[in-house]
């Protein structure tokens, strides 16, 4: 008997994890009819922690290292992986997850933020493997092709989401550093031959410290280094504060401390420390005694002063500082959570997209919308947001009913441009010079640094860049759409990239194609001009910018980035299918636990599954898989046309109800198809059972709402309890389980 086709389905965190408990049984039931095995693999934050700390666990507690296993699989032609959004953990989230696992009886060590000995240093380095964007670089052995499926785009046009109103006199602006940032200090080199490199710190006092030991480099690889000077950053924050105060608007910070897990918490801490400069000076000794680190924000500060003799006094001084300073934008006005509470609360790609969609507004402490000075310190990406804001002030908000679309081809294979998610970012504890050199000591780059400065280095291998250019040309040809490479000729790294793009474009016949290289501010202006005319434009971008663009444009077009189709054609022939962004996942799981209502929309998952089945059909010559894929395409169209995504209020259809309707429409389409009589006969009674029991099933699903849910944990929920909470309709379960 032939071996079954396999699709790996990742188990992740928060709302996507909850949704999987409801949707995966449907997927498994339908796909087994085509001899497809769905293989679940746990790459959740808790799962990754347990996999990395086996030596601390009892034998019956040990788990496989699913992420490492999938990393290997991604390099093979047989890979077919459906990847749901996962937590890119900040240190506070990591601490919470460890504490929860310890309560479950796992004897894990605490995370030592400041190691006191070699053992703690080892523990910290092991936890570093699960911090930040630890999953994506391992799985992404290909470049990214993200676009809004036609059905989703058409739905958005006929059911436009709310857009804020932009006025020409909006005071909202992006504030960025003018010097001393990563952009201004960047140096970049393209290697002619393969080699090894190391990173060393040479102190002005004559000391030498190895920051990273010898590691390989490939011929044609681009490497670069840059430094953010902490004193220049603090001067910039003080200027932005004065600007916001003068303009009488909010002050906000927009970083990505989850992905840029080393650099951005430090930048966040510098913002917090500068804003509350007098408080940190006045209580210097108390804060030292309580081990208060501004990088962890106000939330941790308030936790640590709780019960201290000076708690009331410190809180009063913090309140007074906010009263006298520029008002701080809020994350949650009702709970008093500011933009400076937790670094991972504000993710720049989601927060700036929401700001631009909302007419340039953020929320103040009174839960009213106001303009803001949005601090994005580093110029690498600040400028294109300012270009978007300038366009909105001049031309008004975009109209989802008529606007064009912006698909993205993103460079990310083999950890290309993984700023901050890797082992090449360091904060320096003394004045000196950081040097990147080869095994023989020949220097590639050197950077002067001062105490507290942040050094980072990144790599982009040649083969992924070639693949990226090929993918961009193919997408431009297939869709007959202009493709714009967003590259800045004023930036060292991008100048090296431009040389490669110009070289590799010559390998293709681009006659009749509109393919251009533009700097990112001009690319934004050009793309928005076309959007307003209803025209599509492919953005071709590097890795970090890909992250930002694939949130910004979908949020403006569709109201969410979770409905994008995200395909990663893996370089060795396999496929990775991503199911949208997870930015709203924490809010949704909190609502579910409190009141049994899950607003998470699984449409991205439906789209990814359809693409995964299609890929499997083509690569494994599985005719039934293609029938499943075609029927799911029909079901997705009907799902959108009938508006069966989760509604906005309790007592209406939620995530579980949306899964029921998708399953019913999928069964109907399978019963109606004429390519395989056996499958049609198999699914006809399934479709009929769902149709005749629709009212009963809806009643059972909605009846499970309006009460708190006990799933046994946030990061490490109990599987049986979660199944019970997410599959509350015995009628539907009997139909699905009976297939």
For the stretch 614-667, pLDDT in tens is 999 999 999 999 999 999 999 999 999 899 999 888 999 999 999 999 999 999
Across the range 578-584, mean pLDDT stands at: 69
Which pLDDT does position 429 carry in this prediction? 95
According to DSSP, the residues that pair with 11 across neighbouring strands are: 42
596 is in an annotated binding site: no
Which pLDDT does position 162 carry in this prediction? 92
Q: Which DSSP symbol is given to 431?
A: S
Is residue 117 scored above 90 in pLDDT? yes
Across the range 368-383, mean pLDDT stands at: 96
Which pLDDT does position 288 carry in this prediction? 94
Instruction: Give the residue from 139, 134, 135 showing the smallest Cα distance to 75.
Output: 139
Distance CA 119, CA 130 (A): 18
Instruction: Give the residue from 11, 14, 10 showing the smallest Cα distance to 96.
Output: 14
Q: How much is the CA Rg of the chain, to the nearest whole Å? A: 26
Is residue 580 scored above 90 in pLDDT? no
Is residue 1 scored above 80 in pLDDT? no
Across the range 361-365, mean pLDDT stands at: 95
146 is in an annotated binding site: yes
Look at residue 560 and give its three-state secondary structure.
coil
Residue with tokens 């081990």: 291
Distances (CA, A) of 87 to 10, 300, 346, 617, 723: 13, 20, 14, 31, 21
Which pLDDT does position 583 carry in this prediction? 57
Banded model confidence at residue 581, pLDDT cuts 50, 70, 90? low
Is residue 3 scored above 70 in pLDDT? no
Which pLDDT does position 613 carry in this prediction? 97
116 is in an annotated binding site: no
pLDDT higher at 92 or 369: 369
379 is in an annotated binding site: no
pLDDT in tens, 400-451: 999 999 999 999 998 888 776 678 999 999 999 999 999 999 999 999 999 9
Banded model confidence at residue 672, pLDDT cuts 50, 70, 90? very high
547 is in an annotated binding site: yes
Give percent of the chain with pLDDT exceeding 70: 98
Across the range 138-149, mean pLDDT stands at: 89
648 is in an annotated binding site: yes
Task: Supply the pTM of this predicted model.
Answer: 0.86
Q: Which two tokens stand for residue 415?
A: 């950890």
Distance CA 721, CA 17 (A): 13
Which pLDDT does position 92 carry in this prediction? 87
Is residue 138 scored above 80 in pLDDT? yes
- Compute the Cα dihedral for 394, 398, 404, 406 and give only its sign: positive
344 is in an annotated binding site: no
600 is in an annotated binding site: yes
Distances (CA, A) of 184 to 178, 197, 253, 255, 447: 8, 23, 20, 18, 12
Distance CA 648, CA 654 (A): 8
In sequence order, the 6+-apart residues with CB closer than 8 A to the CB of 656 are 22, 598, 701, 704, 726, 727, 728, 729
Q: Which helix (H) or strand (E) holds 410?
A: strand 408-410
Q: Which two tokens stand for residue 394?
A: 């001049």
Task: Count the Cβ atoms, other than its own, within 10 Å of residue 209.
Answer: 15
pLDDT in tens, 508-555: 999 999 999 999 999 999 999 999 999 999 999 999 999 899 999 999
In sequence order, the 6+-apart residues with CB closer than 8 A to the CB of 577 are 80, 81, 82, 83, 566, 567, 568, 608, 609, 611, 612, 615
According to DSSP, the residues that pair with 89 across neighbouring strands are: 132
Q: Which two tokens stand for residue 666?
A: 């999928």
Note whether 241 and 251 are within 8 A (CB). yes
Q: Backbone dihedral region of 291: left (phi > 0), alpha (psi from -120 to 50 degrees) or beta?
A: left
349 is in an annotated binding site: yes
**Average model confidence (pLDDT) across the chain:** 94
pLDDT in tens, 38-87: 999 999 999 999 999 999 999 999 999 999 999 999 999 999 999 999 98
Which pLDDT does position 420 carry in this prediction? 63
Distances (CA, A) of 287 to 41, 76, 278, 279: 43, 51, 13, 10
Which pLDDT does position 391 carry in this prediction? 97
83 is in an annotated binding site: yes
Note whether 428 and 262 are within 8 A (CB). no
Distance CA 432, CA 449 (A): 5
According to DSSP, the residues that pair with 455 across neighbouring strands are: 227, 426
Which pLDDT does position 151 carry in this prediction? 83
According to DSSP, the residues that pair with 445 across neighbouring strands are: 436
Banded model confidence at residue 285, pLDDT cuts 50, 70, 90? very high
Instruction: Give the residue from 143, 144, 138, 142 showing the smallest Cα distance to 70.
Output: 138
H-type helices in 248-345, by residue range?
263-275, 277-282, 284-289, 297-305, 311-324
456 is in an annotated binding site: no
85 is in an annotated binding site: yes
Is residue 384 scored above 50 in pLDDT? yes
Which pLDDT does position 616 carry in this prediction? 95
Banded model confidence at residue 94, pLDDT cuts 50, 70, 90? very high
Instruction: Give the residue from 189, 326, 187 showing the smallest Cα distance to 244.
Output: 326
According to DSSP, the residues that pair with 225 across neighbouring strands are: 187, 457
pLDDT in tens, 705-729: 999 999 999 999 999 999 999 999 9
Q: Which two tokens stand for residue 16?
A: 């996507």
pLDDT in tens, 333-345: 999 999 999 998 8
174 is in an annotated binding site: no
Distance CA 593, CA 604 (A): 23
Which pLDDT does position 681 carry in this prediction? 97
Is residue 325 scored above 70 in pLDDT? yes
584 is in an annotated binding site: yes
198 is in an annotated binding site: no
């Amino acid at each position: 008997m032939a071996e079954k086709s396999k699709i790996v389905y990742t188990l992740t965190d928060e709302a996507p994890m909850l949704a999987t408990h409801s949707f995966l049984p449907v997927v498994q039931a339908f796909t087994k009819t085509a001899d497809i095995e769905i293989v679940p693999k746990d790459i959740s934050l808790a799962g990754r922690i347990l996999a990395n700390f086996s030596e601390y666990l009892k034998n019956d507690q040990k788990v496989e290292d699913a992420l490492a296993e999938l990393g290997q699989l991604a390099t093979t032609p047989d890979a077919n992986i459906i990847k749901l959004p996962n937590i890119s953990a900040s240190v506070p989230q990591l601490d919470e997850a460890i504490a929860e696992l310890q309560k479950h009886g796992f004897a894990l060590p605490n995370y030592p933020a400041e190691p006191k000995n070699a053992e703690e240093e080892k523990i910290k380095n092991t936890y570093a493997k699960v911090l930040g964007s630890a999953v994506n670089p391992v799985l992404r052995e290909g470049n990214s092709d993200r676009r809004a499926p036609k059905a989703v785009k058409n739905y958005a046009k006929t059911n436009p989401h709310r857009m804020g109103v932009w006025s020409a006199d909006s005071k909202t602006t992006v504030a960025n550093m003018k010097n001393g940032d990563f952009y201004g200090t960047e140096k970049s080199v393209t290697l002619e031959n393969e080699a090894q490199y190391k990173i060393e710190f040479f102190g002005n006092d004559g000391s030498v410290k190895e920051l990273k030991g010898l590691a390989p480099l490939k011929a044609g690889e681009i490497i670069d280094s840059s430094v953010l000077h902490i004193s220049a950053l603090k001067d910039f924050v003080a200027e932005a504060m004065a600007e916001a105060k003068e303009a009488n608007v909010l002050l906000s910070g927009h970083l990505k401390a989850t992905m840029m897990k080393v650099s951005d918490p430090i930048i966040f801490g510098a913002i917090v420390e500068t804003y509350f400069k007098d408080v940190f000076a006045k209580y210097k000794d108390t804060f030292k005694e309580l081990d208060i680190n501004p990088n962890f924000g106000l939330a941790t500060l308030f936790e640590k002063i709780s019960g201290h003799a000076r708690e009331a006094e410190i809180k009063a001084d913090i309140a007074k500082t906010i009263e006298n300073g520029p008002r701080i934008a809020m994350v949650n006005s009702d709970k008093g959570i500011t933009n400076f509470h937790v670094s991972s609360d504000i993710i720049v790609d989601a927060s700036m997209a929401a700001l631009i969609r909302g007419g340039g507004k953020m929320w103040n402490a009174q839960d009213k919308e106001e303009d803001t000075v949005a601090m994005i310190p580093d110029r690498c990406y600040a400028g294109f947001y300012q270009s978007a804001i300038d366009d909105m002030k001049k031309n008004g908000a975009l109209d989802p009913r008529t606007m064009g679309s912006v698909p993205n081809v993103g460079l990310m294979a083999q950890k290309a441009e993984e700023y901050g998610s890797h082992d090449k970012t360091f904060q320096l504890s003394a004045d000196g010079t950081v040097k990147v050199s080869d095994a023989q000591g020949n220097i590639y780059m050197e950077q002067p640094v001062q105490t507290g400065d942040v050094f980072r280095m990144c790599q982009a291998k040649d083969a992924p860049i070639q693949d990226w250019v090929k993918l961009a040309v193919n997408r431009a040809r297939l869709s007959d759409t202009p493709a714009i490479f967003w590259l800045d000729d004023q930036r060292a790294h991008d100048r090296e990239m431009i040389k490669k793009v110009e070289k590799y474009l010559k390998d293709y016949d681009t006659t009749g194609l509109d393919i251009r290289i533009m700097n990112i501010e001009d690319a934004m202006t050009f793309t928005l001009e076309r959007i307003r005319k209803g025209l599509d434009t492919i953005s071709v971008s590097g890795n970090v910018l890909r992250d930002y663009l694939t949130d910004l444009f979908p949020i403006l077009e569709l109201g969410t980035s979770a409905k994008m189709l995200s395909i990663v054609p893996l370089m060795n022939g396999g496929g990775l299918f991503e199911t949208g962004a997870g930015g709203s996942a924490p809010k949704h799981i909190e609502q579910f636990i409190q009141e049994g209502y899950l607003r998470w929309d699984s449409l991205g998952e439906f789209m990814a599954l359809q693409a995964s089945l299609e890929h499997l059909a083509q690569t494994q010559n599985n005719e039934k898989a293609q029938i499943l894929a075609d029927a799911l395409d029909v079901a997705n169209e009907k799902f959108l046309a009938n508006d069966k995504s989760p509604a906005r209020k309790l007592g209406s259809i939620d995530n579980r109800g949306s899964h029921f309707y998708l399953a019913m429409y999928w069964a109907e389409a399978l019963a109606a198809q004429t390519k395989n009589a056996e499958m049609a006969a198999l699914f006809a009674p399934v479709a009929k059972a769902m149709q005749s029991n629709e009212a009963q099933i809806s009643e059972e699903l909605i009846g499970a709402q309006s009460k708190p849910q006990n799933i046994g944990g946030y990061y490490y929920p109990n599987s049986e309890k979660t199944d019970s909470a997410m599959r509350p309709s015995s009628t539907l379960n009997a139909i699905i389980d009976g297939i």
